[in-house]
Structure 1
Amino acid sequence: MSSTPPEPDVADEETASGKMKASTRSTLLGAMFLMATSAIGPGFITQTTTFTVQLGAAFAFAIVVSILLDIALQLNVWRVIGVSGRRAQELGNLVAPGLGWVMAALLVVGGLVFNVGNVSGAGLGTDAMLGLDPKIGGAISAVIAIGIFLSRRAGVAVDRIVVVLGALMILLTLYVAITSGPPVGTALKNVVLPEQVDVLAITTLVGGTVGGYIVYAGAHRLLDSGVSGVRHVRDITRGSVTGVIVTGIMRIVLFLAILGVVAGGAKLDPARQAANAFEIAAGEVGLRIFGIVLWAAAITSVIGASYTSVSFITSRTRTSDRTRTMLVVAFIAVSTIVFVAAGTAPATLLVFAGAFNGVLLPVGIGILLYVGWRRTDLLQGYHYPKWLLTIGTLAWLVTLYLAVRSIGPVIDLFK
């Protein structure tokens, strides 16, 4: 005997829709902060401090230019990857056989160099926080990162940890910036009328913020969380821009914190400039705050670098979760072994890594822009906005110019 199916419960549908939207927001927040905290690592802190000491208030111009370039680039990278539903290397292989694997090789090498610096930064952070030997602190931090990936709900754990630690870094650094009393007016003037324009500084910032694995971290995380396709374009756009803004806020706050100390006439210890600046600004408390900020920046970057690098050598559909997890663990373990064997990662290496990624950046971005312009068949029928591709291409041309200009200075770093 047939029966009439029950009428759908509108309240239940609205509840389900609300849960789905909440889940998407949570995923978007995690992807956004994964991108931001991947950028805010030990290299980020070292680069910002180094250039603030060298350029003073004029560094404000380089920061603003880099943020604008980052937004133009991230908007296109997230949209191409998000709408297509394919990772960057998969798109590369569809553009030309083997091209994606070349991208993957370059990215994994760069990610490994960065990750050695990340583990080193975690060790230096525990030293500033607790007086712990950097090698021991770095090893313990690596074990913590491995434990996060081995947890039963690793994806949720990663999303929540990067959000909490990202917010903590910004708030603590803001406190030090207020304490140091920076010349904000002079910095604002240099945004419009810079006393000095340093091409290497801009290239290094762009490379350190969206170069290498960082530009793909958030977009790949969205894909793995099931957020992709034309219907999520608005979410993808919001996440890409907000992630860059979060990174920019941290860069500005850190710049002001260091600038206040430098403008006051303090001479920073060349071997520990950032730690010394925090200590001068806020005394013993400042040094401990620096330790927390550096450790948080380092361990979130370990998570981001390892996750994203492995996403370039695995498949979303053909690689099991266990295999992916084991590869991430191996990536962290290798980085830690290199750090423990070599000791610390010198500041020059961290600046070089950012500049090197800036030189390589046009390669991957160029491929994704090509997909947007010429391979609309890979975008599920989506009509890609020409204005967005245009600003992305203009930003790409700037990065190409900066990369060519920076090849000499990058080599000179090691002379």
Structure 2
Amino acid sequence: MADNNAAVKSKPPVQSGGKSMTALLGAAFLMATSAIGPGFLTQTAKFTGEYGALFALAIITTILLDVTTQLNIWSIIGVSGMRGQDIANKVVPGLGVFIAILVSIGGLVFNIGNVGGAATGLNVMFGLPIQAGTIIGGAIGILVFLSKDAKSGMDRLTKYLGSIMIVVVLYVMLRSAPPVGEAVASVGKLNQFPTLVFPIITLLGGSCGGYITFSGAHRLLDAGYSGVDDLKQFRKSVTMGVCVSGTMRILLFLAVLGVVTAAPQIVGTDSWTASPPAAAFQAGAGNIGHFIFGMVICFAAITSIIGAAYTSVSFLKTLHPFIMKNEKWFVIGFIFVSTVIMTFLGQPATLLVLAGSVNGLILPITLAVILLASRRKDIVGADYRHPTVLLVLGVCVVLLTGYTGIKAVPTILTIFG
């Protein structure tokens, strides 16, 4: 417990008022926009085309499971004042190092795809060659961390780009005129839940798997928040973040639902197979919709580049003083390596499948560690009582994601031939 008290006493003072809200919003948008990447867009559009209005039930279930998972993790990180890998090392010595390496590798591979997503967006909007767009996407991420106040710049950029994405997707949704009543009614079709287990787990892994759920919580620690007194701020920030990513998920679902309802023949076409969200946006709003798709995937990719790089290094920086001292340069190096690999590799589809599968396996491990930590007084302190409802729901998520993760292992092994 002495370590925790020392961490809380030595933390920098947290500003109140506007600056405090800026930090909370910055952490919320960092987490939300880390989740809203190219995979987020593709998965949501693809499953909407496959399940139609019924997919509303999967969307709502995913959001509820997402907020349950993130409230558990953010609460324990906040009250302990410790990063995820340090908590894991306390629960099982050496486990934190393993998780940090696993999360960082997964984050690197995802970042290769994020850089590719930025290149795709720039190609759609301005006709730039993919290689040129790849270099520009990576350069934007690097420039953010080269700035004098990199973390504040990161907060502002994710907040602005995240807000723009929501507005333009709202426009496409209104243009596509989705059957909202049918979607709302589908939420009550609980007898259809078993058919939606796979897409729910897929969406959940994309919303809070791997590095994503830790991004905002680690950002608040860096901003000086920790301890029981700041627990309310952690919970407020994570709730805002889930609201942002959930709103984006719902708007995207409705936008695509309007298209596939009016023109179901679009599903399965060559353009749909190539990119479900691109085909849906163009069908729903014409050339403007296609441009908006480019904007959304570009912004989603850039914010995910920033989130993946920052959070992956935040998992490594407490493992060695040299990484802690040179955090900024490690983040820049992380983005640079992702950009170089994407430039020469082109479309790393196999690596992206592997990264997604690994993220799905990481979630039950990290959440189980957090739930165990919630009962350790040397981690959370003698006076903290973790809400029973969060603990029970968290165990349900661990069992659900753990079971599906084990079932997916044979598929993961086939990736290696």
**Fold match, TM over 0.5?**
yes
Per the alignment, do residues 413 and 101 of structure 1 end up closer, same or farther by CA in structure 2, a change over 3 Å counting?
closer
Residue 363 of structure 1 deviates from its aligned partner by 0.5
Q: Distance in 2 between matches of 1:304 and 1:224?
A: 14
Q: Give the residue type in structure 1 aligned to 2:97.
A: W
Q: Give the residue type in structure 2 aligned to 1:34.
A: L
Aligned length: 397
Q: Is the 8 A contact 2:310 2:331 kept in 1?
A: yes
Residue 316 of structure 1 deviates from its aligned partner by 9.4
The 10-residue stretch of structure 1 (31-40 or 229-238) with the greater mean CA deviation from structure 2: 229-238
For residue 406 of structure 2, what is the aligned residue in structure 1?
404
Q: Give the residue type in structure 2 aligned to 1:313.
A: L
The equivalences for 1:159-174 within 5 A come to: 159-174=155-170
For residue 37 of structure 1, what is the aligned residue in structure 2?
33
Q: Is the 8 A contact 1:208 1:355 kept in 2?
A: no
For residue 137 of structure 1, what is the aligned residue in structure 2?
133
Per the alignment, do residues 211 and 410 of structure 1 end up closer, same or farther by CA in structure 2, a change over 3 Å counting?
same
Residue 93 of structure 1 deviates from its aligned partner by 1.2
Identity, in percent, stands at 45
3-state SS of paired residue (1:226): coil
Q: Is the 8 A contact 1:33 1:166 kept in 2?
A: yes
**Unmatched segments (≥5 aa) in structure 2:** 1-12
CA RMSD of aligned residues (A): 2.3
Q: Give the ranges of 4+ consecutive aligned residues of structure 1 lying more than 3 Å apart after TM superposition.
A: 316-322, 348-356, 404-415
**Unmatched segments (≥5 aa) in structure 1:** 1-16
Q: Is the 8 A contact 1:199 1:406 kept in 2?
A: no
For residue 45 of structure 2, what is the aligned residue in structure 1?
49
Q: Distance in 1 between matches of 2:115 and 2:89?
A: 32
Per the alignment, do residues 413 and 167 of structure 1 end up closer, same or farther by CA in structure 2, a change over 3 Å counting?
farther
Per the alignment, do residues 22 and 318 of structure 1 end up closer, same or farther by CA in structure 2, a change over 3 Å counting?
farther
Q: Give the residue type in structure 2 aligned to 1:337.
A: V
The 10-residue stretch of structure 1 (350-359 or 56-65) with the greater mean CA deviation from structure 2: 350-359
Q: Give the residue type in structure 2 aligned to 1:372.
A: S
Q: Distance in 1 between matches of 2:219 and 2:34?
A: 12
Query: Cα deviations across residues 178-213 of structure 1 (Å, max 9, x unaligned)?
Result: 101112122112211165623221111010000000
For residue 4 of structure 2, what is the aligned residue in structure 1?
none
- Which protein is bigger by CA-based radius of gyration? 1
For residue 307 of structure 1, what is the aligned residue in structure 2?
310
3-state SS of paired residue (1:20): coil
3-state SS of paired residue (2:100): helix
Residue 172 of structure 1 deviates from its aligned partner by 0.3
The equivalences for 1:259-278 within 5 A come to: 259-265=257-263, 266-267=265-266, 268=269, 269=271, 270-278=273-281
Residue 341 of structure 1 deviates from its aligned partner by 1.1
**Structure 2 residue 145 is matched with structure 1 residue 149:** yes
For residue 381 of structure 1, what is the aligned residue in structure 2?
382
Q: Is the 8 A contact 1:200 1:406 kept in 2?
A: no
**Structure 2 residue 340 is matched with structure 1 residue 337:** yes
3-state SS of paired residue (1:97): coil
Per the alignment, do residues 355 and 189 of structure 1 end up closer, same or farther by CA in structure 2, a change over 3 Å counting?
farther
Residue from 200, 203, 209 that aligns with 2:201: 203
3-state SS of paired residue (2:82): coil
Residue from 71, 78, 87 that aligns with 2:74: 78
For residue 231 of structure 1, what is the aligned residue in structure 2?
229
Per the alignment, do residues 353 and 230 of structure 1 end up closer, same or farther by CA in structure 2, a change over 3 Å counting?
same
Residue 53 of structure 1 deviates from its aligned partner by 1.6
**Structure 2 residue 124 is matched with structure 1 residue 128:** yes
3-state SS of paired residue (2:316): coil
Q: Is the 8 A contact 2:316 2:323 kept in 1?
A: no
3-state SS of paired residue (1:383): coil
Q: Give the residue type in structure 2 aligned to 1:179.
A: R
Q: Distance in 2 between matches of 1:18 and 1:115?
A: 31
**Structure 2 residue 63 is matched with structure 1 residue 67:** yes
Q: Distance in 1 between matches of 2:386 and 2:96?
A: 25
For residue 393 of structure 1, what is the aligned residue in structure 2?
395
Q: Distance in 2 between matches of 1:335 and 1:386?
A: 40
3-state SS of paired residue (2:113): helix
Residue 413 of structure 1 deviates from its aligned partner by 8.9
Q: TM-score, normalised by structure 1?
A: 0.90
